[in-house]
Amino acid sequence: MRVLRHLYVQVLIGLAAGILVGYFAPHLGVQMKPLGDTFIRLIKMLITLVIFCTVSVGIARMEDLKHVGRVGLKTIVYFEAVTTLALVIGLVVANALHPGEGLNIDPATLDPHAIGHYVAEVHTEASQSFLDQIVPNSVVGAFARGDLLQVLLFSVLFGIALSIMSRRSRFLSRVIEQSGEALMRIVEMIMRLAPLGAFGAMAFTVGKYGIGTLQQLGLLIVCFYLTSILFIVLVLGTICRWAGVGLWPLLKYLREELLIVLGTSTTESVLPRLMDKLERLGCPKPVVGLVLPTGYSFNLDGAAIYLTMTSLFIAQATNTHLTLLQHLGLLAILMLTSKGGAGVAGAALVALTATLSTHNIIPVAGITLIIGIDRVLNEIRAIVNMIGNAVATIVVARWEGAFDAEAARRFLAAPHADQTAHDDQPEAADGVHERTPPAYAQERPN
């Protein structure tokens, strides 16, 4: 059947099979975890190299290096505005629906040792300054650890150096560009394993945590999912319309990535592919290279909603009353702790631990109530993060006047036709497809 050739259909089948195996054979489902983990590792081994090639070549082609600073400033302003809005929405919904009310849990009965790992992570991060986290001791070490921010910093500096070198850097820029294209071919090969990775991750989630845990804390799960969906439709949908692109066509275009994120519970599994798709949509390579990797640390809309809702859930479950001033204090802390995640499943629990430890009013031990359902909450959390960063890239490109909304709408109406046209492009003498870079990213005149 032709329909089975589509990756999103294969991933859907993998997800459905994973749910069935996890439910009817939990022990077998837990043993499927290496399938999901291996797929994620295969993608993560390429992420830093893809970012380096995309960002450095993109900046080298910028007509004016002032664009780099301008794009960076607009990116940070947008991130701060939208993530703060997400925090406020989570705060309002949790106070309106009270998902933790009636549990009446005594904090003294909770096991603090269950969160020892997350407390240790918080202490490790607290011992490092922001500059320690963004400036690597070694460039090689940053690539080896997969630290997106540190690799991004080096890539920006390298791209600026290529731009300053002008004519002398043309050969090196071309080599890096071709290396990036080769890496994307590897990504395409790895993506053939996405259904298997989604199957293993979903089978593990259902087999490990089962249905009982979901019933026990069902109200929080329902509230979080509904809030996240409304945030996507109302907030991100409105922003999309401002940028000139419909939300539904965009989600349809990114359906394969959304399903992979749903299965693997991490946005890192689709970062290289997402960068490529946004470039095809019309976002300039420099904007994609700067906004998207930065957003994986500073624009986590789903994590922002998660942090406010789970913080207040723990407060309500343990009968911890918060005044208006304490709510505002919690919001101020969350504006800091919600930043710096790496898009990895479980990173939000570390941020939640840091938040409650700093706030020092809501019992930190209450996080044990969340651990059992964190993986379930992370499914939609990762999806919101991914959509939020895709929309952010489009918005910044439009803000820069480098995004043709009309052309993007035509592309979204028939993306497969454009893909066929791209595949039919003539090859250069070296065998690489020739691409015409957008006007925003043309090589600087000499």
The answer as to whether 374 is a domain residue is yes
The CATH number that applies at residue 281 is: 1.10.3860.10
Rounded CA separation 259/194 (Å) = 9
Rounded CA separation 67/332 (Å) = 31
Q: Which residues pair with 427 in a beta bridge?
A: 433
The answer as to whether 419 is a domain residue is no
Rounded CA separation 277/173 (Å) = 22
Longest Cα–Cα distance in the chain: 72
Q: Which residue has the higher pLDDT, 84 or 191?
A: 84
Which of 72-81, 131-140, 227-236 is the least confident region?
131-140
The answer as to whether 218 is a domain residue is yes
The answer as to whether 84 is a domain residue is yes
Rounded CA separation 435/165 (Å) = 23
Give the domain extent around 42: 2-413
Q: Which residue has the higher pLDDT, 304 or 371?
A: 304
Residues with Cβ < 8 Å from 90, sequence gap 6 or more? 227, 304, 305, 306, 307, 308, 309
Rounded CA separation 255/264 (Å) = 14
Residue 438 pLDDT greater than 60, yes or no: no
Cα–Cα nearest to 152, from 274, 50, 69, 41: 50
**Mean pLDDT across 373-388:** 86
pLDDT tens for 305-357 read 988 998 898 888 888 888 889 888 888 888 877 775 544 445 677 778 778 87
- What is the b/e burial string over 387-407, where b = at least 16 CB atoms within 10 angstroms of the residue's CB? bbbbbbbbbbbbbbebbbeee
Return the DSSP state at 108: G
Highest mean pLDDT among 31-40, 50-59, 242-251: 242-251
Q: What does pLDDT average to over the chain? A: 79
* pLDDT band per the 50, 70, 90 thresholds, residue 50: confident
pLDDT attached to residue 220? 85
The answer as to whether 198 is a domain residue is yes
The answer as to whether 429 is a domain residue is no
Residue 395 pLDDT greater than 50, yes or no: yes
- What is the b/e burial string over 200-234, where b = at least 16 CB atoms within 10 angstroms of the residue's CB? bbbbbbbbebeeebeeebebbbebbeebbeebbee
Residue 430 pLDDT greater than 60, yes or no: no
* pLDDT band per the 50, 70, 90 thresholds, residue 404: confident
* pLDDT band per the 50, 70, 90 thresholds, residue 233: very high
The torsion defined by the Cα of 293, 295, 296 and 297, in degrees rounded to 10, comes to 110
pLDDT attached to residue 64? 64
* pLDDT band per the 50, 70, 90 thresholds, residue 361: confident
Residue 151 pLDDT greater than 80, yes or no: yes
Q: Structural domain tally of the chain?
A: 1
pLDDT attached to residue 234? 94
Tokens of 321: 């009353």
Amino acid in position 271: L
pLDDT attached to residue 321? 87
The answer as to whether 418 is a domain residue is no
Which of 6-10, 16-20, 305-309 is the least confident region?
6-10
Residue 18 pLDDT greater than 90, yes or no: no
- Enumerate long-range contacts of 326-335, CB under 8 Å, 24 or more apart: 326/359, 326/361, 327/91, 327/95, 329/359, 330/91, 330/355, 330/359, 330/362, 331/87, 331/88, 331/91, 333/358, 333/359, 334/87, 334/304, 334/307, 334/308, 335/80, 335/83, 335/84, 335/87
pLDDT attached to residue 39? 83
pLDDT attached to residue 432? 37
pLDDT attached to residue 390? 94
The answer as to whether 389 is a domain residue is yes
**Mean pLDDT across 144-159:** 81
